[in-house]
Structure 1
Amino acid sequence: MSEDSEIEKQICDVLRRNGKSNALKIAKEIKVDKRIVNKHLYNLERSNQVFKTDELPPVWDLLEKMKEIKQTPKPEQKPQTTRDTSEEKHVEDLLRTGALKASHIARDLRQSTQTINKQLYTMMQKGRVQKCSISNLWSLNDEWTEESSSQESDSCLQVSKPGSHSELFEMITELGDGGYGCVYKVKHKIDGKVYALKKVILTRKADSEVKALAQLDHPNIVRYITSWPGPDIWTSNQQRNQVSTTTYLFIQMEFCEGGTLTDWIQGRNDLKKYRTTAEIHKIFSEIITGVEYIHANNLIHRDLKPDNILFGADGKVKIGDFGLVAAQTDQNGDPIERSKRKGTPPYMSPEQENKKNYDEKTDIFPLGLIWFEMLWKISTGMERVKLWSDLRNQRFPEGFGDEYSAESTFIMKMLSYSPEDRPHAKDIKRDLQTFFSLEQDLLNPKTV
């Protein structure tokens, strides 16, 4: 037995013999430095052998004792399983607002922290919740485990002091608000520059978005600056008290002054701005280049749409919003089972709607829709509703194939129902360079 294993065995023996104890008492009993004992206690916690309370200093106990609690109901009481299910539902309802500490849950449910800790560890054994061993935050398992095999197991962020980073920014305006969170246009109080600041509830999904942005460095990807966890300082005092237990993740990114591709398309549809075919293909080429880079980094965007494609001050395309980013394969190179219907329905690929296994080809389908939108003027919302279903089934409006014969051939392949029939991003980029002269003001489509 290794020295580390021997120490951990001695720690477990002490807890089994004496019951709950802190690291200092355990260290004195087994005559090992307290820092070493602490390190092994956290190792044991990660392997689900021990658990700790939120007290300071933490009090530790064996997780196996939780399994020994009998679930037999008393005759005069409702069945224990029914009561447990009800209690777990209350806990789950609170965790749907975001990651929380056991003490916060206990306060909201008016129970002791010890009782809630027992409930949480029981739920963890059932796979319903998971705990971050660094920040002591609990979260629903469906928020933490999707594509978790491609993420580091102990990557949770520690909670910063209230406003320690956010107070460095002055909010100019809110750019967007949805189920994902909010995006603000802000000004840094020290360097004076304008940035985009995204605020989302701190979960493993948010952690995944930051990791993806941090590893992507490309002129056609929104540039990531930094991130930090903390409370929302831009709410009223009353609102802040209501959400005081919610921890957010703030993501600082470059601000794209040129607006979104949605704005670009709308300007063309309203006849406010004339768009040349050369301009359209230059922009689409930059979109494809960005997507090719994402795929080359073993990632899938999963939410490509005009709203998430922006323009920098120099007019260059910037792909943003990596809130649904996912790894293409796990660490062993095997397919990952995914949640269905993750994305924006009008742009979602068929396999995103009804399959649990798909790869980077799922990003090609919305790109076909986007290319079409950039080329074809859609005057009204009603017209869009009528043609969109046909378009998703490879049926183009009358006249599109005649006016854009080369483009329609490529878009048809991109909109294939089967992912295997769609080209890779790198192939689309190559074909754009082959069949269109992107350097000229007017493109000369060649015969496909």
Structure 2
Amino acid sequence: MELTSYGAAGVVTGSKHLLTSKGLNFLVDSGLFQGEGVEKKNEDVLPFKAHEIKAIFLTHAHLDHCGYLPVLVKSGFHGKIYCTKATRSLAEIILLDSAKIQEYEAKESQTKKHLLYEEEDVLRTLDFFDTCDFDKTYHCEHLTFSFHTAGHVLGAAFLRVELEGKSLTFSGDIGQPYDMLMPSPAPLIQTDYLVLESTYGDRIHSKENTINHIASELKEVIANGGTLLVPVFALARLQLFLAYLHEVFTIYPELKIAAFVDSPMGSAMTKVYKDFHYLLRPTEKEFLTYLESAKILEFSKETEKMHKMTGPKIIIASSGMISGGRIMNHVERLGKYESTTILLTGYQGKGTIGRELLEGAREIRINGHRQKIRAKVSMLESLSAHADKEQLLDWVQTASKNPHKIFLVHGEPESLGPFKEFLSSNLESIVEINAEGKSQSL
């Protein structure tokens, strides 16, 4: 039995982990590489034959985990794609949006060189999905598998597989244990091998009071008569930010100002959250109340009307890394004013505008031109959807016994090394950093 990572090895994006057993191939996640310097890898020749993959197991719906699925279907994959029900619903939205963006960019550049797939490819891909319940055992050939709550985002799961008398667990992305919306990750079931994400393997999340931080930024914006501009990920960060904004408005009613969500994808994602409210930590009534903290804009004329409003306001839009979506237009329009505050709410990948701003850039390239940034830039660190290094260690230690071996993936080089040392000093496990394309015998 062999494990080979063809993505998220030495980088955070592009998750693809191939498991080979008894002549059969199984793939865990199939994501796109994202960010400057790695996106071109999406156009590389497949390192394996798509038609020889028996099944794909999808841990959650983020593009860096599911965005490559239509490429595999175009290349001949015809097996089943297993995931949870909520992940299936969210993946449909994300994949269709990905195809739409690619088609638009291809039209603008008048070339299809970088067009990985189109809408019809996504629709074909959706036919191969087969949904599963949490904590239930399923069978595929000689392999048994089960999905368990990972927190992180709606529907996210860690995957446990058993084959050839051994157990192997893929963490997917593990969420924080005290997320306001998502339940804590389920305890890790004792496993021989663990493929573990390392996004924040080099740090401990800030213990800041999220409500107080948002309130502080709002006080400043109100005093300046400006705009609080909040880039969010349409999946999970938008819904969580609205929950915190509701709490801020409840505790500090004097800070309640007009708030708007300008994100078609965010609106669609929120509808899925409503459908699967029973997977969330708050009650359905509580969740619906959180959503009342901002008006969701449905039409472009509403956006223009919002911009014509005088006085302070909050604009919430995706994408969270300012790498696309309507947030680009808002940053272009409002980032040049000192009265604007850009409040980042999650991980900012290398090569994104969000990372540039976080690192202090005062001039960026956006929508095809250079622009000065005079806005204040702040980071809401407590809103991360990923567990930090101590929380990941705590999760691993929920198992009755340490894994024999841990393979680190889904992390940048500067986090992987320190995280390996940290785990090695606290666990009785062999810890290795997976290299792209290098097979590991299990």
**TM-score category by the smaller chain?**
under 0.3
Greater strand content: 2
Which of the two has higher C-alpha Rg?
Answer: 1
Q: TM-score, normalising length from structure 1?
A: 0.26
Give TM-score, length-normalised by structure 2: 0.26
Point out which structure has higher relative CO (alpha carbons under 8 A, 6+ apart): 2
The structure in which a higher percent of residues are helix is 1
